[in-house]
Amino acid sequence: MSNKDQIQRFMFENLGARGQLVGLNDSFREATANHEYPATIQQLLGEFMTAATLLSTTIKFKGSLTLQAQGDGDLSLIMAECRHDQDVRGIARWEGEGEPENTGFQALLGNGRMAVTITPDKGQRYQGIVALEGDSLAACIENYFEQSEQLQTRVWLTTEPGFCASGLLIQVLPQEQGAVEDADGWSRICQLSDTLSNKELTTLSNDDILHRLYHEEMVRVFPASDVQFKCTCSAYRTLEAIVSMGKDEIQEIFTEQPQITVRCEFCNAGYEVTQADIDQHLSDTDEASSSQTLH
């Protein structure tokens, strides 16, 4: 998928289906640079980041989509988040040293569930839950679309640890399900897509992949958009998180130490917060809310 960080949308003109290709290079390397992930976990994290980017195109407003799985296996949490403008980040937490013994998707996570959460910058968040069924993240995502949106979907994901992560998604358009004249079209493009090797998905350009798979289909290709690693942490958000702990707890911390140091798990940025910062933040937010009521 060359070495660009991009998402490429396309449409099967006569089949009532759409598709997307995602390649993460720098963004994947930046997201994993500050963590010493075992290769197996890095591999799955690459898949999560790719899948979150593929799913982020379903957001129709400013906000984020989070894909998060929790289980009772060695891997206790894995999550990736992608915003409407394709800022992506991701993280994993695991137990033990070195490579996990059980490396399959279900073995790593154990019994658990996966949540797809869509959080608008303004408004209500929406969450869909999927059981961790099928021994891959791709199978879970396919189940998610089947259950939540009744949309036939196929997903292919692959990661080269330390290097890049790539993915392909094809999906029947909601209004077209069952109404397309070419009844074999969907199963045909599924079979064609199944012939793509992980190596091809990782190394070929988008044009080459689309030509290699679908040169006998009518495919309309849209301009690609850039994807980048970007963290949403900030001094303001750090203060908000500390304030939400409640006055008593904050006071207790400050009697033991002069400042609270918070390190962002995603990007490793550090924030140092003193009692004076908290007081300033509280008076700023008070001012902002009272001026809102006045005007």
The least distance separating Zn ion from the CB of residue 189, rounded to whole angstroms, comes to: 39
Position of tokens 């021994």? 135
C-alpha to C-alpha distance for 165 and 211, rounded to whole angstroms: 21
In the complex with Zn ion, which residue's Cβ is closer, 58 or 234?
A: 234
* Minimum gap (Å) between residue 100 Cβ and Zn ion: 26
**Between residues 118 and 233, which has the closer beta carbon with respect to Zn ion?**
233
107 versus 267: smaller Cβ distance to Zn ion: 267
Q: Phi and psi at residue 160, in whole multiples of 5°?
A: -105, 105
Tell me the closest approach of the beta carbon of residue 31 to Zn ion, in angstroms.
10
Which of 141, 164, 264, 278 lies at the binding interface for Zn ion (CB under 5 A)?
264
Segment lying near Zn ion (by CB under 5 A), choices 52-60, 98-106, 178-186, 263-271: 263-271
Contact segment (CB under 5 A) with Zn ion among 60-68, 210-218, 235-243, 268-276 equals 268-276
Closest to Zn ion by CB, 59 or 231: 231
CA-wise closest residue to 69 among 54, 83, 79: 79
What residues contact 132, with CB distance under 8 A and at least 6 apart?
Answer: 69, 71, 105, 106, 109, 111, 112, 113, 114, 140
* Range in contact with Zn ion (rule: CB under 5 A) among 3-11, 237-245, 257-265, 275-283: 257-265
Nearer to Zn ion, 186 or 266 (CB): 266
Helix axes 185-194, 206-214, angle to 10 degrees: 120
Q: Which two tokens stand for residue 60?
A: 């129709």
CA distance 252 to 43: 41
x/- string (CB under 5 A) for Zn ion, residues 222-241? ---------x-x--------
Structure tokens at 277: 């910062």
DSSP-derived pairing of the beta strands 87-94 and 228-229: parallel
- H or E element, residue 240: helix 235-243
CA 231 to chain centre: 12
From candidates 115, 163, 267, 277, binder to Zn ion by CB under 5 A: 267
Alpha carbon distance 164, 4 (integer Å): 10
Nearer to Zn ion, 74 or 87 (CB): 87
Confirm or reject binding of residue 28 to Zn ion (CB under 5 A).
Answer: no
Cβ–Cβ under 8 Å, residues 270 and 234:
no
Q: Which member of 10, 12, 266, 271 binds Zn ion (CB under 5 A)?
A: 266
Count residues contacting Zn ion (CB under 5 A)? 6
Please report how close the Cβ of residue 269 comes to Zn ion at its closest, in angstroms. 5
Nearer Cβ to Zn ion (132/233): 233
- The DSSP-derived string for 185-200 is HHHHHHHHHHT--HHH
Closest of 202, 173, 170, 180 to residue 47, by C-alpha: 202
Nearer to Zn ion, 221 or 269 (CB): 269
Q: Which residues bind Zn ion (CB under 5 A)?
A: 231, 233, 264, 266-267, 269
